[in-house]
A and B are shown apart, each in its own frame.
Chain A
Amino acid sequence: QLQLQESGPGLVKPSETLSLTCTVSGGSINTDSSYWGWIRQSPGKGLEWIGSIYYTGSAYYNPSLRSRVTISVDTSKNQFSLNLNSVTAADTAMFYCARLCNTGTGGRGNPDCWGQGTLVTVSS
């Protein structure tokens, strides 16, 4: 049974970089049929797709965040990671990693398996 687990600091200071890792277990990240993505949820903005990555390293980002986001993959550890720089209080949210299935070009798909989420607060 596929499981995803987010890890990383729960508190980040304004202007610094938010870094999270998603560890995939019960299945391999090296699969042709899935993307691996990050999605955040906040009361103000609802659910927001941050970006997706393929096991080859091809990454796709939401244009609204593209200038601040990097998603990377480490197939040897069955993990993928999110870096979001220059954070502000508006980036405070629950962050989820997920597997995306029924995929199309450009990182598209629908998340069918989600991590439990990790709350990240941006505050000094």
Chain B
Amino acid sequence: DIVMTQSPDSLAVSLGERATINCRSSQSVLYSPNNKNYLAWYQQKPGQPPKLLIYWASTRESGVPDRFSGSGSATDFTLTISSLQAEDVAVYFCQQYSSAPLTFGGGTNVEIK
């Protein structure tokens, strides 16, 4: 199984400041024939299911604000919230879909400082 490791576990950021979440996979999730990274990011608020933010490592899902961006390749990835808003308080997960079984990171809890 591909193990997804997120850091940090928890993050406190001031409103309007940048939040950066890291995700590392134990194997590359880059598929060379199409040069795509099979990596997605999700946001989960209390009492709600996860919401897809980013797929193919850097493609924003429709309707997701452009303050959310994804970057990285192969085994190292980053989710950046460029200017944290109050409604961004949530837990964020990465997920690989490069190989079965699908696996998720342990989550990063983002709070307001």
Residues of A within 8 A of B (CB): 46-49, 60, 62-64, 96, 98, 100-102, 104, 106-112, 114-117
Contact yes or no, A49 B102, CB < 8 A? yes
Instruction: Kindly list chain A residues whose C-beta atoms are within 8 Å of the C-beta of B103.
Output: 49
B30 contacts chain A at the CB level, 8 A cutoff: no
Instruction: Kindly list chain A residues whose C-beta atoms are within 8 Å of the C-beta of B55.
Output: 101-102, 110, 112
Contact A46:B101 (CB < 8 A) given known A110-B52, A111-B50, A114-B49:
no
Bound: A48/B104 CA distance, A? 7
Contact A47:B49 (CB < 8 A) given known A63-B101, A102-B55, A108-B100:
no
Contact yes or no, A106 B104, CB < 8 A? no
Contact yes or no, A96 B52, CB < 8 A? no
- Chain B contributes a number of interface residues (CB within 8 A of A) equal to 23
Contact yes or no, B104 A62, CB < 8 A? no
Contact yes or no, A116 B40, CB < 8 A? no
Instruction: Kindly list chain B residues whose C-beta atoms are within 8 Å of the C-beta of A98.
Output: 49
B72 contacts chain A at the CB level, 8 A cutoff: no
Bound: A112/B56 CA distance, A? 12
Contact A108:B106 (CB < 8 A) given known A47-B50, A96-B49, A102-B56:
no
Contact yes or no, B107 A114, CB < 8 A? no
> Shortest CB–CB separation between residue B93 and chain A, in angstroms?
6
